[in-house]
Amino acid sequence: MAQIIICLPNAIREYLIQYIAEMALPFKDVFWGGDFISNLGYEALVQRLSDGRRVCKDMEDIMKMRASAEERYGKELIMIARKAGGLCEINTLRASIDQLKVQIENIGNLHIQLSGTLREEIKRMEQFRERQKEQRKKFDCTMDKVQKIKMSIYKKTMESKRSYEQRCREAEEATLYAERMSSETTTTTKQAERVHNRCKQARDAAEEAEKQYMSNIEQLDKIRQEWESAHERTCEVFQLQEEDRINILRNAIWVHCNQLSLQCVKEDECYEDVRKTLEVCDIQTDNDYFVKIKGTGSNPPAPIGFESYNERKHLTDNNGSVFFVGGVIKRLSNFWQGNSACARNDVNDVLQPIPSSTPDTSHGLYASISECNPNQIPALSEAREEYQALYDYVAKGEDELSISEGETVVVIEQGVDGWWTVERNGVSGIVPGSYLAQI
Protein backbone atom coordinates (compact mmCIF):
# COMPACT_ATOMS: atom_id res chain seq x y z
CA MET A 1 0.00 0.00 0.00
CA ALA A 2 2.79 2.41 0.92
CA GLN A 3 4.62 1.67 -2.33
CA ILE A 4 1.43 2.37 -4.33
CA ILE A 5 0.93 5.71 -2.57
CA ILE A 6 4.54 6.73 -3.22
CA CYS A 7 4.14 6.09 -6.96
CA LEU A 8 1.07 8.37 -7.20
CA PRO A 9 1.24 12.06 -8.20
CA ASN A 10 1.82 14.56 -5.40
CA ALA A 11 -1.72 15.95 -5.27
CA ILE A 12 -3.36 12.52 -5.14
CA ARG A 13 -0.78 11.26 -2.65
CA GLU A 14 -1.40 14.15 -0.25
CA TYR A 15 -5.16 13.64 -0.51
CA LEU A 16 -4.87 9.93 0.28
CA ILE A 17 -2.59 10.57 3.22
CA GLN A 18 -5.05 13.11 4.66
CA TYR A 19 -7.96 10.75 4.02
CA ILE A 20 -6.21 7.86 5.77
CA ALA A 21 -5.36 10.14 8.70
CA GLU A 22 -9.02 11.16 9.03
CA MET A 23 -10.07 7.51 8.92
CA ALA A 24 -7.91 6.68 11.93
CA LEU A 25 -10.24 5.87 14.82
CA PRO A 26 -9.30 6.89 18.34
CA PHE A 27 -9.48 4.29 21.06
CA LYS A 28 -12.21 6.17 22.95
CA ASP A 29 -14.62 5.70 20.04
CA VAL A 30 -14.16 1.98 19.47
CA PHE A 31 -13.64 0.39 22.90
CA TRP A 32 -17.11 0.49 24.50
CA GLY A 33 -19.03 -2.45 25.80
CA GLY A 34 -22.55 -3.31 24.64
CA ASP A 35 -23.75 -4.12 28.14
CA PHE A 36 -23.96 -1.45 30.86
CA ILE A 37 -21.83 -3.44 33.25
CA SER A 38 -19.52 -4.75 30.53
CA ASN A 39 -15.86 -3.71 30.74
CA LEU A 40 -14.61 -5.49 27.63
CA GLY A 41 -13.24 -2.37 25.93
CA TYR A 42 -11.10 -1.38 28.90
CA GLU A 43 -9.93 -4.97 29.40
CA ALA A 44 -8.92 -5.19 25.72
CA LEU A 45 -6.83 -2.02 26.09
CA VAL A 46 -5.20 -3.28 29.27
CA GLN A 47 -4.37 -6.58 27.60
CA ARG A 48 -2.86 -4.74 24.65
CA LEU A 49 -0.66 -2.61 26.91
CA SER A 50 0.41 -5.69 28.84
CA ASP A 51 1.36 -7.43 25.61
CA GLY A 52 3.24 -4.32 24.49
CA ARG A 53 5.12 -4.22 27.76
CA ARG A 54 6.05 -7.86 27.29
CA VAL A 55 7.28 -7.11 23.77
CA CYS A 56 9.45 -4.29 25.13
CA LYS A 57 10.94 -6.72 27.63
CA ASP A 58 11.56 -9.25 24.85
CA MET A 59 13.34 -6.58 22.80
CA GLU A 60 15.46 -5.68 25.80
CA ASP A 61 16.42 -9.34 26.18
CA ILE A 62 17.38 -9.52 22.49
CA MET A 63 19.61 -6.48 22.83
CA LYS A 64 21.11 -7.79 26.08
CA MET A 65 22.05 -11.06 24.43
CA ARG A 66 23.44 -9.19 21.43
CA ALA A 67 25.48 -6.92 23.72
CA SER A 68 26.89 -9.93 25.56
CA ALA A 69 27.76 -11.61 22.26
CA GLU A 70 29.47 -8.44 21.00
CA GLU A 71 31.49 -8.16 24.21
CA ARG A 72 32.60 -11.81 24.09
CA TYR A 73 33.48 -11.54 20.41
CA GLY A 74 35.46 -8.34 21.01
CA LYS A 75 37.44 -9.89 23.85
CA GLU A 76 38.19 -12.97 21.77
CA LEU A 77 39.45 -10.79 18.91
CA ILE A 78 41.73 -8.89 21.27
CA MET A 79 43.06 -12.17 22.67
CA ILE A 80 43.68 -13.45 19.12
CA ALA A 81 45.51 -10.26 18.17
CA ARG A 82 47.75 -10.41 21.24
CA LYS A 83 48.53 -14.11 20.90
CA ALA A 84 49.13 -14.05 17.16
CA GLY A 85 52.63 -14.92 15.96
CA GLY A 86 54.40 -13.79 12.82
CA LEU A 87 57.35 -12.39 14.76
CA CYS A 88 59.89 -14.19 12.61
CA GLU A 89 58.75 -12.39 9.45
CA ILE A 90 60.73 -9.40 8.15
CA ASN A 91 60.38 -6.12 6.30
CA THR A 92 57.18 -5.22 4.38
CA LEU A 93 55.29 -8.46 4.98
CA ARG A 94 56.09 -8.18 8.69
CA ALA A 95 54.57 -4.68 8.62
CA SER A 96 51.40 -6.07 7.00
CA ILE A 97 51.11 -8.83 9.61
CA ASP A 98 51.64 -6.32 12.43
CA GLN A 99 49.01 -4.05 10.91
CA LEU A 100 46.58 -6.97 10.68
CA LYS A 101 47.05 -7.73 14.37
CA VAL A 102 46.60 -4.06 15.27
CA GLN A 103 43.38 -3.81 13.27
CA ILE A 104 42.03 -7.06 14.71
CA GLU A 105 42.52 -5.59 18.16
CA ASN A 106 40.90 -2.33 17.04
CA ILE A 107 37.90 -4.24 15.69
CA GLY A 108 37.66 -6.09 19.00
CA ASN A 109 37.58 -2.76 20.83
CA LEU A 110 34.88 -1.53 18.43
CA HIS A 111 32.72 -4.56 19.27
CA ILE A 112 33.21 -3.90 22.99
CA GLN A 113 32.20 -0.27 22.46
CA LEU A 114 29.14 -1.47 20.53
CA SER A 115 28.15 -3.68 23.45
CA GLY A 116 28.34 -0.65 25.75
CA THR A 117 26.19 1.38 23.35
CA LEU A 118 23.60 -1.40 23.24
CA ARG A 119 23.49 -1.55 27.04
CA GLU A 120 22.84 2.20 27.18
CA GLU A 121 19.97 1.74 24.73
CA ILE A 122 18.63 -1.08 26.91
CA LYS A 123 18.65 1.21 29.96
CA ARG A 124 16.64 3.83 28.06
CA MET A 125 14.09 1.21 27.04
CA GLU A 126 13.81 -0.02 30.63
CA GLN A 127 13.26 3.53 31.87
CA PHE A 128 10.60 4.10 29.21
CA ARG A 129 8.84 0.88 30.15
CA GLU A 130 8.84 1.80 33.85
CA ARG A 131 7.48 5.29 33.11
CA GLN A 132 4.62 3.80 31.14
CA LYS A 133 3.96 1.34 33.93
CA GLU A 134 3.70 4.09 36.57
CA GLN A 135 1.51 6.22 34.33
CA ARG A 136 -0.79 3.33 33.52
CA LYS A 137 -1.03 2.38 37.19
CA LYS A 138 -2.65 5.74 38.04
CA PHE A 139 -5.35 5.30 35.41
CA ASP A 140 -5.84 1.67 36.37
CA CYS A 141 -6.61 2.74 39.93
CA THR A 142 -9.04 5.42 38.73
CA MET A 143 -10.85 3.05 36.40
CA ASP A 144 -11.03 0.31 39.01
CA LYS A 145 -12.51 2.74 41.54
CA VAL A 146 -15.10 4.14 39.12
CA GLN A 147 -15.98 0.66 37.90
CA LYS A 148 -16.55 -0.58 41.44
CA ILE A 149 -18.77 2.41 42.28
CA LYS A 150 -20.72 1.91 39.08
CA MET A 151 -21.26 -1.77 39.81
CA SER A 152 -22.32 -1.03 43.39
CA ILE A 153 -24.90 1.59 42.40
CA TYR A 154 -26.06 -0.60 39.54
CA LYS A 155 -26.77 -3.47 41.91
CA LYS A 156 -28.52 -1.12 44.31
CA THR A 157 -30.58 0.30 41.47
CA MET A 158 -31.57 -3.15 40.27
CA GLU A 159 -32.65 -4.09 43.81
CA SER A 160 -34.69 -0.89 44.11
CA LYS A 161 -36.24 -1.66 40.75
CA ARG A 162 -37.28 -5.11 41.89
CA SER A 163 -38.63 -3.63 45.11
CA TYR A 164 -40.50 -0.95 43.22
CA GLU A 165 -42.07 -3.48 40.88
CA GLN A 166 -43.06 -5.66 43.83
CA ARG A 167 -44.68 -2.75 45.65
CA CYS A 168 -46.52 -1.75 42.51
CA ARG A 169 -47.91 -5.27 42.12
CA GLU A 170 -48.95 -5.28 45.77
CA ALA A 171 -50.66 -1.91 45.39
CA GLU A 172 -52.42 -3.09 42.27
CA GLU A 173 -53.64 -6.24 44.00
CA ALA A 174 -54.78 -4.24 47.01
CA THR A 175 -56.73 -1.87 44.79
CA LEU A 176 -58.42 -4.74 42.95
CA TYR A 177 -59.28 -6.41 46.24
CA ALA A 178 -60.76 -3.18 47.63
CA GLU A 179 -62.91 -2.70 44.54
CA ARG A 180 -64.12 -6.29 44.74
CA MET A 181 -64.95 -5.95 48.44
CA SER A 182 -66.83 -2.70 47.90
CA SER A 183 -69.02 -4.26 45.23
CA GLU A 184 -70.14 -7.05 47.54
CA THR A 185 -73.31 -6.40 49.62
CA THR A 186 -72.17 -8.49 52.51
CA THR A 187 -69.09 -6.34 53.25
CA THR A 188 -69.40 -4.46 56.49
CA THR A 189 -68.23 -0.92 57.02
CA LYS A 190 -65.40 -2.04 59.22
CA GLN A 191 -64.15 -4.51 56.64
CA ALA A 192 -64.35 -1.91 53.87
CA GLU A 193 -62.42 0.58 55.99
CA ARG A 194 -59.73 -2.03 56.75
CA VAL A 195 -59.39 -2.94 53.05
CA HIS A 196 -59.21 0.71 52.13
CA ASN A 197 -56.40 1.35 54.62
CA ARG A 198 -54.46 -1.66 53.31
CA CYS A 199 -54.84 -0.42 49.78
CA LYS A 200 -53.60 3.03 50.78
CA GLN A 201 -50.56 1.54 52.54
CA ALA A 202 -49.73 -0.49 49.44
CA ARG A 203 -49.95 2.59 47.23
CA ASP A 204 -47.78 4.59 49.66
CA ALA A 205 -45.16 1.78 49.68
CA ALA A 206 -45.19 1.71 45.87
CA GLU A 207 -44.70 5.47 45.73
CA GLU A 208 -41.81 5.25 48.18
CA ALA A 209 -40.21 2.43 46.19
CA GLU A 210 -40.66 4.48 43.06
CA LYS A 211 -38.88 7.45 44.64
CA GLN A 212 -36.02 5.23 45.82
CA TYR A 213 -35.79 3.63 42.39
CA MET A 214 -35.70 7.01 40.66
CA SER A 215 -33.05 8.26 43.10
CA ASN A 216 -30.87 5.26 42.37
CA ILE A 217 -31.36 5.77 38.66
CA GLU A 218 -30.15 9.34 39.01
CA GLN A 219 -27.10 8.25 41.00
CA LEU A 220 -26.39 5.52 38.48
CA ASP A 221 -26.60 7.95 35.60
CA LYS A 222 -24.24 10.31 37.40
CA ILE A 223 -21.66 7.63 38.02
CA ARG A 224 -22.17 6.44 34.45
CA GLN A 225 -21.13 9.87 33.22
CA GLU A 226 -18.12 9.84 35.50
CA TRP A 227 -17.18 6.37 34.29
CA GLU A 228 -17.55 7.37 30.65
CA SER A 229 -15.39 10.44 31.20
CA ALA A 230 -12.73 8.38 32.98
CA HIS A 231 -12.94 5.73 30.26
CA GLU A 232 -12.40 8.32 27.54
CA ARG A 233 -9.41 9.85 29.36
CA THR A 234 -7.97 6.42 29.95
CA CYS A 235 -8.43 5.46 26.31
CA GLU A 236 -6.67 8.63 25.20
CA VAL A 237 -3.75 8.05 27.58
CA PHE A 238 -3.48 4.39 26.63
CA GLN A 239 -3.52 5.31 22.95
CA LEU A 240 -0.68 7.80 23.52
CA GLN A 241 1.21 5.15 25.44
CA GLU A 242 0.75 2.65 22.65
CA GLU A 243 1.87 5.18 20.05
CA ASP A 244 4.94 6.04 22.13
CA ARG A 245 5.74 2.38 22.63
CA ILE A 246 5.52 1.57 18.94
CA ASN A 247 7.57 4.65 18.12
CA ILE A 248 10.22 3.82 20.72
CA LEU A 249 10.51 0.21 19.61
CA ARG A 250 10.63 1.15 15.94
CA ASN A 251 13.33 3.74 16.57
CA ALA A 252 15.28 1.36 18.80
CA ILE A 253 15.32 -1.33 16.11
CA TRP A 254 16.21 1.27 13.50
CA VAL A 255 19.08 2.62 15.60
CA HIS A 256 20.20 -0.91 16.35
CA CYS A 257 20.41 -1.71 12.64
CA ASN A 258 22.25 1.56 12.00
CA GLN A 259 24.75 0.69 14.73
CA LEU A 260 25.40 -2.70 13.18
CA SER A 261 25.79 -1.14 9.73
CA LEU A 262 28.18 1.46 11.12
CA GLN A 263 30.10 -1.34 12.80
CA CYS A 264 30.55 -3.00 9.41
CA VAL A 265 31.77 0.29 7.92
CA LYS A 266 34.30 0.77 10.73
CA GLU A 267 35.53 -2.79 10.35
CA ASP A 268 35.94 -2.27 6.62
CA GLU A 269 38.00 0.86 7.32
CA CYS A 270 40.26 -1.19 9.59
CA TYR A 271 40.65 -3.87 6.96
CA GLU A 272 41.34 -1.16 4.38
CA ASP A 273 44.35 -0.07 6.45
CA VAL A 274 45.60 -3.65 6.26
CA ARG A 275 45.07 -3.71 2.51
CA LYS A 276 47.05 -0.49 2.16
CA THR A 277 50.04 -2.10 3.88
CA LEU A 278 49.66 -5.13 1.63
CA GLU A 279 49.80 -2.86 -1.40
CA VAL A 280 53.32 -1.75 -0.44
CA CYS A 281 54.37 -5.30 0.38
CA ASP A 282 56.92 -6.29 -2.27
CA ILE A 283 58.37 -9.74 -2.77
CA GLN A 284 61.67 -8.55 -4.22
CA THR A 285 62.12 -5.94 -1.51
CA ASP A 286 61.64 -8.53 1.25
CA ASN A 287 64.06 -10.96 -0.40
CA ASP A 288 66.68 -8.22 -0.87
CA TYR A 289 66.30 -7.20 2.77
CA PHE A 290 66.73 -10.80 3.88
CA VAL A 291 69.89 -11.13 1.78
CA LYS A 292 71.21 -7.89 3.22
CA ILE A 293 70.84 -8.85 6.88
CA LYS A 294 71.35 -12.61 6.66
CA GLY A 295 73.64 -13.10 3.67
CA THR A 296 76.54 -15.51 4.43
CA GLY A 297 78.79 -14.95 1.44
CA SER A 298 78.84 -14.62 -2.34
CA ASN A 299 81.19 -17.49 -3.13
CA PRO A 300 80.68 -21.18 -2.48
CA PRO A 301 83.26 -23.05 -0.39
CA ALA A 302 86.39 -24.32 -2.14
CA PRO A 303 86.30 -27.91 -3.33
CA ILE A 304 88.05 -30.56 -1.30
CA GLY A 305 91.05 -31.82 -3.22
CA PHE A 306 92.70 -35.20 -3.18
CA GLU A 307 95.36 -35.75 -0.51
CA SER A 308 97.89 -38.50 -1.01
CA TYR A 309 98.34 -40.74 1.97
CA ASN A 310 102.06 -41.18 1.27
CA GLU A 311 102.75 -37.46 1.11
CA ARG A 312 100.81 -36.87 4.36
CA LYS A 313 102.82 -39.62 6.06
CA HIS A 314 106.08 -38.20 4.70
CA LEU A 315 105.20 -34.79 6.07
CA THR A 316 104.36 -36.27 9.44
CA ASP A 317 107.76 -37.92 9.70
CA ASN A 318 109.51 -34.56 9.41
CA ASN A 319 108.74 -33.74 13.03
CA GLY A 320 109.66 -30.26 14.11
CA SER A 321 109.78 -28.83 10.54
CA VAL A 322 107.73 -25.94 9.17
CA PHE A 323 106.69 -25.90 5.52
CA PHE A 324 105.55 -22.92 3.47
CA VAL A 325 103.79 -22.56 0.18
CA GLY A 326 103.63 -18.96 -1.01
CA GLY A 327 104.49 -17.74 2.51
CA VAL A 328 101.64 -19.69 4.26
CA ILE A 329 102.53 -22.05 7.12
CA LYS A 330 101.51 -25.66 6.39
CA ARG A 331 102.75 -27.29 9.62
CA LEU A 332 103.94 -25.96 12.98
CA SER A 333 103.73 -29.07 15.15
CA ASN A 334 106.55 -29.57 17.61
CA PHE A 335 108.40 -26.52 16.25
CA TRP A 336 110.13 -25.78 19.52
CA GLN A 337 110.35 -29.28 21.00
CA GLY A 338 113.80 -30.19 22.35
CA ASN A 339 116.69 -27.76 22.58
CA SER A 340 116.02 -25.82 19.39
CA ALA A 341 118.18 -22.75 18.93
CA CYS A 342 115.16 -20.72 17.87
CA ALA A 343 113.08 -21.34 21.01
CA ARG A 344 111.01 -18.34 22.03
CA ASN A 345 109.26 -17.35 25.18
CA ASP A 346 106.30 -15.93 23.27
CA VAL A 347 104.59 -18.27 20.82
CA ASN A 348 102.96 -15.35 19.01
CA ASP A 349 106.35 -14.24 17.75
CA VAL A 350 106.59 -17.19 15.37
CA LEU A 351 102.99 -17.29 14.11
CA GLN A 352 103.54 -14.69 11.36
CA PRO A 353 104.25 -16.18 7.88
CA ILE A 354 107.85 -15.78 6.71
CA PRO A 355 108.32 -14.33 3.25
CA SER A 356 108.86 -17.14 0.85
CA SER A 357 112.32 -17.72 -0.55
CA THR A 358 113.43 -20.05 -3.20
CA PRO A 359 112.12 -23.41 -2.08
CA ASP A 360 114.37 -26.30 -1.52
CA THR A 361 113.27 -29.18 -3.67
CA SER A 362 114.91 -31.81 -1.52
CA HIS A 363 111.56 -32.70 -0.02
CA GLY A 364 109.44 -32.34 -3.08
CA LEU A 365 106.80 -29.64 -2.98
CA TYR A 366 107.50 -28.58 0.63
CA ALA A 367 110.84 -27.12 1.67
CA SER A 368 111.98 -27.47 5.26
CA ILE A 369 113.87 -24.91 7.28
CA SER A 370 117.20 -26.46 8.02
CA GLU A 371 118.16 -23.89 10.55
CA CYS A 372 116.19 -21.23 12.29
CA ASN A 373 117.61 -17.81 12.90
CA PRO A 374 115.47 -15.73 15.22
CA ASN A 375 116.56 -12.58 13.48
CA GLN A 376 115.09 -13.87 10.22
CA ILE A 377 111.53 -14.27 11.72
CA PRO A 378 109.80 -10.90 11.91
CA ALA A 379 107.62 -10.17 14.93
CA LEU A 380 103.83 -10.73 14.52
CA SER A 381 101.94 -7.40 14.23
CA GLU A 382 98.23 -7.13 14.99
CA ALA A 383 96.02 -5.43 12.37
CA ARG A 384 93.91 -2.90 14.29
CA GLU A 385 91.44 -1.27 11.93
CA GLU A 386 88.31 0.64 12.93
CA TYR A 387 84.93 -0.60 11.69
CA GLN A 388 81.37 0.60 12.20
CA ALA A 389 78.44 -1.66 13.16
CA LEU A 390 75.74 -1.81 10.49
CA TYR A 391 73.15 -3.64 12.63
CA ASP A 392 72.48 -4.52 16.24
CA TYR A 393 73.83 -7.83 17.46
CA VAL A 394 73.14 -9.48 20.80
CA ALA A 395 75.79 -11.86 22.13
CA LYS A 396 74.61 -15.45 22.47
CA GLY A 397 77.82 -16.94 23.90
CA GLU A 398 80.46 -16.05 26.43
CA ASP A 399 83.08 -15.43 23.72
CA GLU A 400 80.77 -13.12 21.73
CA LEU A 401 80.37 -9.34 22.05
CA SER A 402 77.13 -7.35 21.82
CA ILE A 403 77.19 -4.34 19.52
CA SER A 404 74.69 -1.65 18.52
CA GLU A 405 74.12 -0.07 15.15
CA GLY A 406 76.49 2.87 14.57
CA GLU A 407 79.07 1.85 17.19
CA THR A 408 82.77 1.93 16.30
CA VAL A 409 84.91 -1.12 17.11
CA VAL A 410 88.50 -2.14 16.44
CA VAL A 411 88.98 -5.33 14.43
CA ILE A 412 91.76 -7.47 15.87
CA GLU A 413 91.37 -10.55 13.71
CA GLN A 414 89.24 -11.43 10.70
CA GLY A 415 88.37 -15.11 10.92
CA VAL A 416 87.90 -17.08 7.73
CA ASP A 417 84.69 -18.55 9.15
CA GLY A 418 83.05 -15.11 9.12
CA TRP A 419 83.49 -14.38 12.83
CA TRP A 420 85.80 -11.46 13.59
CA THR A 421 87.51 -10.66 16.84
CA VAL A 422 86.86 -7.02 17.80
CA GLU A 423 87.51 -4.76 20.74
CA ARG A 424 85.36 -1.99 22.16
CA ASN A 425 86.18 0.03 25.24
CA GLY A 426 88.75 -2.53 26.32
CA VAL A 427 86.33 -5.48 26.00
CA SER A 428 86.92 -7.97 23.20
CA GLY A 429 84.84 -10.70 21.67
CA ILE A 430 83.71 -12.13 18.37
CA VAL A 431 80.92 -10.77 16.15
CA PRO A 432 79.65 -11.59 12.63
CA GLY A 433 81.88 -9.89 10.09
CA SER A 434 78.87 -9.15 7.84
CA TYR A 435 77.57 -6.77 10.55
CA LEU A 436 80.62 -4.48 10.19
CA ALA A 437 81.76 -1.98 7.58
CA GLN A 438 85.18 -0.33 7.42
CA ILE A 439 85.27 3.37 8.20
Give the per-residue pLDDT at 377: 39
pLDDT under 70 in the chain at which residues? Answer: 1-24, 185, 187, 312-383
pLDDT in tens, 344-376: 344 344 334 444 444 444 444 333 434 444 444
Give the per-residue pLDDT at 15: 56
In Å, how far from its chain's centre is CA 186? 110
Give the per-residue pLDDT at 14: 65
* CA–CA–CA angle 271, 274, 278 (5° rounding): 135
pTM listed for this prediction: 0.56
Go through the domains of the chain in sequence order and give each one's CATH number.
1-26 (no CATH), 31-287 (1.20.1270.60), 321-337+344-369 (no CATH), 382-439 (2.30.30.40)
Asked if 230 contacts 41 with a C-beta cutoff of 8 angstroms, the reply is no
Residue type, position 322, single letter: V
